[in-house]
Amino acid sequence: MSLVEHLREFRKRLVISAIALVLGMVAAIFLTDAVIWAITEPIRAVGAERGEDALVSLMFQTVTSAFDLRMRIAFALGILISAPVWLWQLWAFLMPGLTRKEIHYTIGFVAAAIPLFAGGVYVGWLIMPHIVELMASFTPEGGSNMFTANYYYDFVFKLLLVVGVSFVLPVFLVALNLAGIVSGRAILKGWRTAIIVAALFSGLATPAADIVSMMLLAGILVVLYLAAAGVSMLFDRRRSKREARLLEAPI
């Protein structure tokens, strides 16, 4: 295909993905009430713990902030709902330029990354209420907690995204290994640093009093890191055997 044909193909795929995203956002509009109710459950829990006289609420500072919050939620859900369409369009655009080996690798990475990311988001959802309750516990007696809607949504969204991406990082380590950038032995040598980073991240993401949640999250991250090191070392061994056979083969 010529450059112009590639650009036309890209525009076609982009338009289809945009239409799917808009339709996903329209469908997601009807789910915004349920999402807002779910993410504000920790706020209601803090209010119930402090009693009827405590002021703990979600605050909308401007005339349009409630509408903006719903649109942001609809956009995030729309991306999720339309993911099968835009992922397929992306794959259909890239696949003709990939070799069979690259196609197999790409399928393997996507198949591993999606459930890991979903698992990370679920773990982030489990620890999110504990973080809100812990931070609210620092409010002095007589003080009020009025959570700005947009800021609170950013906090929840970024927390889920960060924890989800942290679960996918081992897949990127394996990808770097396959690209020849880092060896499995080098990944394994960094296990001490990985444990420290996992412990710090878990300590920040979970309440200080909830040691079980902290250890569980840190343990999951360390196991994923070690699994990435093991898979990378397996790939290194296979690569070494293949190179040895090529050197021994008669010219």
248 occurs within a structural domain: no
Residue 97 counted as domain residue: yes
Q: How many domains does the chain have?
A: 1
The per-residue pLDDT for range 105-121, each reduced to its tens digit, is: 778 788 888 888 888 88
Give the C-alpha distances (Å, rounded to integers) separating 70 from 33, 40, 122, 125.
8, 14, 22, 19
Tokens of 2: 């010529």
Residue 25 confidence (pLDDT) above 80 = yes
CA distance 183 to 162: 26
Mean pLDDT of the chain: 82
Write the DSSP assignment of 40-102 as a string of letters. Answer: THHHHHHHHHH-TTS-EEEE--SSSHHHHHHHHHHHHHHHHHTHHHHHHHHHHHHGGGS-HHH
- For residue 147, which phi and psi values (nearest 5 degrees)? -85, 120
| pLDDT (average), residues 11-20 | 91
Mean pLDDT of 160-189: 82
* Residue 196 to residue 73: CA distance in whole angstroms: 34
Residue 145 DSSP class:
E
Q: How confident is the model at residue 27 (pLDDT cuts 50, 70, 90)?
A: very high
Q: Is the residue at 250 inside a domain?
A: no
> Is 175 inside any structural domain?
yes
pLDDT at 22: 93
Q: Is the pLDDT of residue 123 over 70?
A: yes
Q: Are 144 and 56 in contact (CB under 8 A)?
A: yes
Is 184 within a domain?
yes
Instruction: Report the share of the chain in percent with pLDDT over 90.
Output: 14
Mean pLDDT over residues 207-233, rounded?
Answer: 78
94: which 2 tokens?
């890239």
> What is the rounded distance in angstroms from the CA atom of residue 95 to the CA atom of residue 107?
11
Percent of the chain with pLDDT over 70: 90
Residue 209 binned pLDDT confidence (cut-offs 50, 70, 90): low
Comparing 47 with 83, which gets the higher pLDDT? 83
> Does residue 13 or residue 99 have the better pLDDT?
13
Q: Which domain holds residue 104?
A: 3-243
Structural contact between residues 120 and 164, judged by C-beta atoms closer than 8 angstroms: yes
**Quick one: pLDDT band at residue 250, thresholds 50, 70, 90?**
low
What residues contact residue 144 under an 8 Å CB cut-off, 6+ apart? Answer: 54, 55, 56
- Detail the DSSP E strand segments found in the chain: 56-59, 145-148
Kindly state whether residue 116 falls inside one of the protein's structural domains: yes
Confidence of residue 73 (pLDDT cuts 50, 70, 90): very high
Residue 19 has pLDDT above 90, yes or no: yes
Q: What is the pTM of this model?
A: 0.75
Distance CA 165, CA 114 (A): 10
The per-residue pLDDT for 55 is: 67
**Predicted pLDDT at 88:** 85
Domain-located, residue 237:
yes
pLDDT at 185: 84
Evaluate whether 24 touches 81 at the Cβ level (below 8 Å): yes
Within-domain flag for 45: yes
Q: Give the 3-state secondary structure of residue 172.
A: helix
Q: Determine the distance from the C-alpha atom of residue 147 to the mean position of all C-alpha atoms in its chain, rounded to a whole number.
A: 24
Residue 164: pLDDT over 80 = yes
How much helix, strand and coil, in percent to the nearest 5, is found in the chain? 80, 5, 15
Query: Which pLDDT score, from 0 to 100, does residue 205 have?
Result: 65
Q: What single letter denotes the amino acid at residue 12?
A: K
**How far is residue 38's CA from residue 22's CA, in Å, rounded to a whole number?**
24
